[in-house]
Structure 1
C-alpha cells in the first residue's frame, strides 16, 4: 500500500459509482447490443417454424408460399413458383419483419426450401439491395422476370 499515506482524507480512494441516470448505462442495458442480437438470433433459430401453403386459385404448378411463424404471428414469408416436372423453382418475393432481419432467418428459409425440394434449380426475381446480397451468398441467380414454365396452366 505504497503512496496511500499521501492522499487527503477528503479524496475517496474508490471512485463514486455511477447512478442509473448516467448517459452510458450498463453494458448489458444497451439497446441493440450484442446480447440483444444474440437473443433474437436464438429466437429465430428455435422458435420460428415453417409452414408451406399452396396459394388458392392456381391449379398445378403455381404460386406457393412458405410462411415463417413465431408462435401465432407470421414474421415473414417466401413466395415462390415450383414445378416438380421441370425441377425448376423461382423465388418471387421475400419479406421478413424488421426484428428478424439480421438474424439469419432469411438464409434459413431459403435453405429450408432447398431441402424441401431437393434437385431443384432455383432462380430469383427479387430485386432489392439486401436480398441481392442474400441471393448472391446462397448462389441463386437473379433474373429480370420469371421464365414461363410449359407445365403452368395457360392464363386467359
Structure 2
C-alpha cells in the first residue's frame, strides 16, 4: 500500500491491479539504489584508490632535469606528467600531461598535479603544454601557461667532466 496514503479510498479512485504490484526485481521506490556503481563514479573511485604515482628520471637526451610522474593502475601506465624542475630557482615547468581516455573525467589529472605540488611545496609551477585537455586541467589548477620554455641558468650549464684534461 506504499504511496496510497494521500489518495481517496473509494471504489472510484482505488488502485488498479497493475499499480498494486511493483515490477519484478524492483522494490517499488523510485529512488532505490542500483546494483552496480555507475561507470564514471567507479572510475573516480579507481583514480583515488587504485592508481599509484611513480617518479622516473628521463635520460639527458630529452633535456636537462626532465622528469616524469607515471600514473600506474594494475601494472599499466594510465597517465604521465612530464616536467622539469630546478631546485635552485624553485621553478618547475610542466611540459606535458597525458591521461588515458577512460580516466579523463575521473579527477586523476587534478590528483596528479596536486601530488606534484605536495612533493615540491615551494616550487612555482608554469606550463608549456599545448594539448587542449592539458590546458583545461592546468587552467583549473591555476597553473599559468607560458609560450616558450625559458630554461633557468642552472639547467643550461653543461655538466662538467670530472676527469681532468691531459695535455
Query: Would you call these one fold, judging by a TM-score over 0.5?
Result: yes
Q: TM-score, normalised by structure 1?
A: 0.77
Larger C-alpha radius of gyration, 1 or 2? Answer: 2
Of structures 1 and 2, the one with the larger relative CO (CA 8 A, separation 6+) is 1
Residue 2 of structure 1 pairs with residue 7 of structure 2: no
Aligned to 2:127: 124
1:86 aligns to what SS in structure 2?
A: coil
Report Cα offsets for 1:29-85 as digits up to 9, x if no partner.
89xxx7211111001000000000110236995100000001100000000000111
Q: Is the aligned partner of 1:53 residue 2:52?
A: no
Judge conservation of contact 1:69–1:76 (CA < 8 Å) in 2: yes
Q: Specify every segment of 5 or more residues in structure 1 that has no aligned partner in the other structure, as ranges.
A: 19-26
Structure 2, unaligned runs of 5 or more: 1-8, 25-32, 159-167
Within 5 Å, which residues of 2 pair with 1:33-72?
35-57=38-60, 62-72=65-75
1:42/1:88 CA distance change after superposition, 3 Å: same
TM-score, scaled to structure 2: 0.72
Say if 2:150 is the partner of 1:147.
Answer: yes
Distance across 2 between alignment mates of 1:5 and 1:76: 60
Cross-structure match for 2:106: 103
String of CA shifts for 1:129-150, please: whole Å, max 9, x gaps: 2322221221110011210110
Deviations 1:5-28 (A, max 9, x none): 999xxx95348959xxxxxxxx95
Give the root-mean-square deviation of aligned CA atoms: 3.1
Total equivalences in the alignment: 143
Say if 1:6 and 1:54 are closer, same or farther in 2 by CA, change over 3 A: closer
